[in-house]
Structure 1
């Protein structure tokens, strides 16, 4: 089974700080993505659906405050936010918390201290992080939801179960028989085998940018299908 890994987005214009934080997060088993400015952070967020964002306030192009406010405009956004900043006044901390941050850590900080804050925040919000995300497509099995670039998709139960199975097994060729077993475990395979293609077609209509040139679910002639995990 594909393991659930919590993804953390680190946003800071200081490369040294990003490298340091990423090293410690990866040691703790998190999947880490990063951005050097607020504009890039928006794109990374939409593509990777992180559970937590570690966010500097003083960023080029789009400030940390603006990015935070952009995130909180979406009432469905449950991503946790930890601010890291060299602003140390009580007023700055209060402002950040009121605009939607979950925690505030002042610079300079000890990496282990920051990891403790990460663990504490995710203990409170981790129930929202049971998800698998690949290149803007995100499935949340506990909530029964699928999003594509932060837009809610409406899938049938069959489509949802197929997509979940595909995303649990990226880059693995799955036969039609295997796929039938996932959505119709108690049905004659010879009867239902032919309907898999119809389910796949409907699923592709909802998750592919170009139906004539699918990038996510590839047909493997004579065998079945494969969910392609994009290479970063």
Structure 2
């Protein structure tokens, strides 16, 4: 199970990591609403843990954007210290699927997450395959191909490809790609450039035209050959 946690309290975040990762869950995190929006828009998750009180973009606003603007149906478990009925109604009205009041039991949280994922998988029996031009990628199976030719990538390469394809043909900033790969522990060297080069070697070099393009000073994007920029 891949989980996105959007939570600005470092103690709660550390407790969630310490509980979930040893159980084999893959966990990404953001400490503000806009960071959570970027992660959720560029990566596939099984479930999202979302705090209500967030800097910049609060949890209710973020959930509304996920549902209304991006049409993301990933189950959302909302965390809040507010336990009044109006607060719960506001959470569900924003698009949340479940609601857990702080302080909460980590065991109960895991049970709720698993229930949300089971329910979601029942509603969406097939997972999403990303397609852009002749490039096809199944993020869950790590199965990528271009024009029917299978493409082998490293773990980092698959993360970068998922980010670029989810946003294509929009530009993905360097900061967003680095966050997706390394989280807050970003390397000082220009490691991203090296991994993008390897991605180009796999996706572009065997073919007559390039799909991976650098936007100087901004980031990277995918484009279909001969399509307007």
Assess same fold via TM > 0.5: yes
Alignment TM-score, normalising by the size of structure 1: 0.60
Residue segments in structure 1 that go unaligned for 5+ positions in a row: 1-5, 131-140, 147-152, 173-195, 217-232
Q: How much does 1:199 deviate?
A: 6.0
DSSP-derived class of the 1:210 partner: strand
**RMSD of equivalent CA atoms:** 3.4
DSSP-derived class of the 2:87 partner: helix
Partner of 1:166: 152
DSSP-derived class of the 1:126 partner: helix
Q: Distance in 2 between matches of 1:102 and 1:156?
A: 33
Which of 140, 150, 155 is equivalent to 2:134?
155
Partner of 1:51: 46
DSSP-derived class of the 2:57 partner: coil
What are the superposed Cα offsets for residues 119-153 of structure 1, whole Å, 9 maximum, x if unpaired?
100111136899xxxxxxxxxx844334xxxxxx2
Residue segments in structure 2 that go unaligned for 5+ positions in a row: 137-144, 158-202, 222-229
DSSP-derived class of the 2:100 partner: strand
Q: Distance in 2 between matches of 1:128 and 1:156?
A: 27
User: Mapping of 1:32-43 within 5 angstroms?
Assistant: 32-43=27-38
Alignment TM-score, normalising by the size of structure 2: 0.60
DSSP-derived class of the 2:54 partner: coil
Is residue 144 of structure 1 aligned with residue 129 of structure 2? yes
Contact persistence 1:57–1:63 (CA under 8 A): yes
Q: Distance in 1 between matches of 2:130 and 2:122?
A: 14
Q: Distance in 2 between matches of 1:17 and 1:102?
A: 21
Name segments (4+ residues, structure 1) moved above 4 Å: 127-130, 160-163, 196-199
Q: How much does 1:39 deviate?
A: 1.7
Partner of 2:167: none
Q: Distance in 1 between matches of 2:86 and 2:96?
A: 14
Q: Distance in 2 between matches of 1:104 and 1:37?
A: 19
What are the superposed Cα offsets for residues 43-97 of structure 1, whole Å, 9 maximum, x if unpaired?
2223433221101101111111111111012464121110010110122112211
Q: Distance in 1 between matches of 2:37 and 2:96?
A: 16
Change (3 A) 1:12 1:156: closer
Q: How much does 1:162 deviate?
A: 4.3
Larger radius of gyration: 1
Which of 70, 80, 86 is equivalent to 1:85?
80
What are the superposed Cα offsets for residues 150-188 of structure 1, whole Å, 9 maximum, x if unpaired?
xxx24367627546x435x5479xxxxxxxxxxxxxxxx
What are the superposed Cα offsets for residues 83-115 of structure 1, whole Å, 9 maximum, x if unpaired?
010110122112211221011001100111101
Partner of 2:99: 104
Contact persistence 1:9–1:32 (CA under 8 A): yes
Structure scoring higher RCO (CA < 8 A, sep ≥ 6) equals 1
